[in-house]
Structures are given as C-alpha cells and as structure tokens.
C-alpha cells in the first residue's frame, strides 16, 4: 500500500516563507531593542569621548590650556621628535618612548606577578569544600572595599624609610640602615601587584570552580607527573580564566595613575601620569589626547595579536 506525499501548493509555500521572514524581522527588531540601552551607553560614554580626543589630537594647544581650532599634527610629531625653537628643525627625542617602555615593562611584570601569585590562590580556593569558598573569596575581596587611594597610601607607609618593612629588617639585624624602597620602580610594581591581584584571582577561580578534580587522579593513574598534569590538564581547562585575568590586569596597569604618583613620587612617570600632566600643568591638550590614542592603539594591536595567536594555537591542537 503506497502512501501519498502531500506537496504544499505554491501559495501555501509563499505564505510560509513570508511568515518566516516576518518572524525573523521581528526577532531582529527585538534584539536591537534589547541592545539599544547598552549601545547607547557605549556610544555616549565610550565612542563620543574618544571622538573628542581624536579631534583634539589634531589641533594646536591653547596658550592657557584648551585647544585652538587650527589643524595640526604636531602632537604626534612631538611624541618622537623635538622641534628646535631657533631653526625649526626636528631632532629625535626618546623621552616619551622611554615612558611608554617603562609603563609596558611594569604592566607586563605586574601581569606576570599577579599570575604567579594569583593562580595558586585561585586553585586553593577552588579546592576547598563549597561551604568554605565564600569565606575565602570574602577574605580576598574585603581589603578592596576600601578606596584605592587609601590602600595605595597604606603601601607608602609600609615601604617608606621608617615603614614597617625597614623597621622589621633593622630589628632582626638584617640591615643597618633603611633600604631605599620608596619612589622606585620596585615600589610602583609592588603597589600595582597589590592593586590588581584580585582581577587575576577571580577569573581563574571562575574557571576552576567547576573543575573535576578526579581528572587529576586519572592523570596520575596514567603515570603522568605533576608537571604533565599541570600542563596538559589544569592549564588547558583554566586557559580562558588566565587570558581574562591577564587582560584585566594588563590594561588598567598600563593606565595606572594613583600608584605611580604616590609610590613613584612623580619621579617614575607612567603613561597615565604623562597624560594627566599634559591636561594639567603642561597645558598641552592635543599631545595628551594623542598620547592616550597611541596607548589605545598599541593595546588594541597587542590584543588582536594575542587573540589571533590563541585562535591559531587552538586550531593547531584541533
């Protein structure tokens, strides 16, 4: 007995396609409606200020601050060259490159330091029983309920010549006179690591929270060493948290202002201090805007390179 196959008529098929298209349009409108508030916030507080900075970077500085509405690219030239006031010639000047280099060096070192310190802490918290994890997370985040300025100033009191560290070292006889720790790159680095350590711990903990620790036992049962278990089991599973933590630490550390201002004493300028100086006593708004845009461009290029490298690495493993 053969079964008859029902073939819809042309009008019915057309009506079906029209109904599907209408539903798709309605879904797009709904998505746009839901995205509109977020897009509006990004546009008003993100793209609009960046547009202002972009316009200002191609203007001339005003005499007492502000800008003069005369097109000029001198702000970008000033980043690499210094103009002679007598014969108007350009000479290479590496001062600002050194500030950028110091900032990137401190930011990368901060990222590595927080990763070295934060990974064991995140692993320890994730390995605790579920009822204990909230306590440890609370202990990690509690000091950061205080304002960053107060926390940074407390670091200044600890590492100064008469601070806690020097007094303890002198009391136990390890040193005879105070070590010069304040207003150095080491003091700035310590402050940055202290400030951004939770931004590394929390993403890694989020990756480890659902981790099945029986996989470690399986790895050891297959005669894998601790190093092999760490490299081939723990690190691949926590890679998203590590990448997120590195990004969350590196980017704000590059633009840090309070920590190098207090712990560096104005002697160890970072990019954030340079930009603030141009908009303040330097009265050179175009150069400040240009420096901010150069920093943003370098960060975006570095992120794109790292994301592409991570994607190609994952594709190679697949």
Both 53 and 113 in one domain: the answer is no
Tokens of 238: 């926590």
CA proximity to 80, closest of 90, 72, 71, 89: 90
Both 243 and 171 in one domain: the answer is yes
Both 184 and 43 in one domain: the answer is no
Both 110 and 57 in one domain: the answer is no
Both 223 and 131 in one domain: the answer is yes
SS3 category, 285: helix
Domain interval for residue 234: 95-283
pLDDT in tens, 180-233: 888 888 889 999 999 999 999 999 999 888 887 778 878 877 878 888 888 888
pLDDT in tens, 225-264: 888 888 888 888 888 899 889 989 998 998 889 899 888 8
Q: For the ranges 15-29, 56-70, 97-111, 272-286, which has the lowest average pLDDT?
A: 15-29
Task: Find out whether 21 and 249 touch, Cβ atoms under 8 Å.
Answer: no
Mean pLDDT taken over the chain: 85
User: For residue 225, what is the domain's CATH number?
Assistant: 1.10.3720.10
Both 146 and 271 in one domain: the answer is yes
Q: For the ranges 17-26, 99-108, 185-194, 277-286, which has the lowest average pLDDT?
A: 17-26
Crossing angle of helices 185-208 and 130-141, in 10° steps, is: 160
User: Is 144 among the domain residues?
Assistant: yes
User: Is 188 among the domain residues?
Assistant: yes
**Helix segments in the chain, DSSP class H:** 10-42, 48-56, 74-80, 95-127, 130-141, 148-159, 164-171, 185-208, 214-221, 226-229, 235-254, 258-263, 271-279, 285-317
């Amino acid at each position: 007995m053969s079964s008859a196959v029902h073939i819809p008529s042309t009008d019915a098929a057309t009506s079906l396609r029209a109904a599907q298209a209408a539903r798709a349009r309605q879904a797009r409108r709904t998505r746009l409606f839901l995205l509109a508030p977020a897009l509006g916030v990004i546009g008003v507080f993100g793209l609009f200020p960046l547009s202002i900075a972009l316009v200002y970077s191609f203007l001339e500085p005003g005499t007492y601050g502000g800008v003069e509405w005369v097109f000029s690219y001198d702000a970008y030239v000033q980043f690499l060259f210094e103009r002679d006031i007598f014969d108007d010639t350009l000479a290479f000047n590496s001062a600002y490159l050194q500030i950028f280099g110091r900032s990137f060096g401190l930011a990368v070192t901060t990222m590595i330091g927080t990763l070295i310190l934060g990974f064991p802490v995140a692993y320890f918290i994730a390995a605790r029983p579920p009822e204990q994890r909230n306590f440890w997370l609370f202990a990690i985040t509690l000091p950061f309920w205080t304002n960053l300025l107060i926390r940074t100033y407390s670091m200044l009191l600890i590492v100064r010549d008469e601070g806690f560290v020097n007094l303890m070292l002198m009391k136990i006889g390890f040193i005879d006179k105070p070590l010069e720790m304040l207003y150095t790159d080491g003091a700035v680095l310590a402050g940055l690591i202290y400030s951004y350590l939770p931004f590394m711990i929390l993403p890694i903990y989020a990756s480890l929270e659902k981790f099945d620790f029986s996989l470690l036992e399986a790895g050891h049962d297959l005669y894998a060493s601790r190093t092999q278990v760490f490299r081939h089991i723990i690190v691949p599973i926590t890679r998203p948290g590590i990448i997120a933590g590195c990004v969350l630490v590196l980017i704000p550390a590059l633009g840090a202002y309070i920590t190098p201002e207090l712990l560096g004493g104005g002697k160890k300028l970072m990019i954030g201090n340079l930009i603030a100086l141009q908009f303040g006593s330097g009265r050179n708004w175009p150069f400040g805007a240009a420096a901010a845009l150069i920093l943003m461009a370098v960060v975006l290029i570095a992120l794109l390179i790292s994301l592409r490298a991570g994607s190609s690495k994952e594709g190679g493993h697949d």
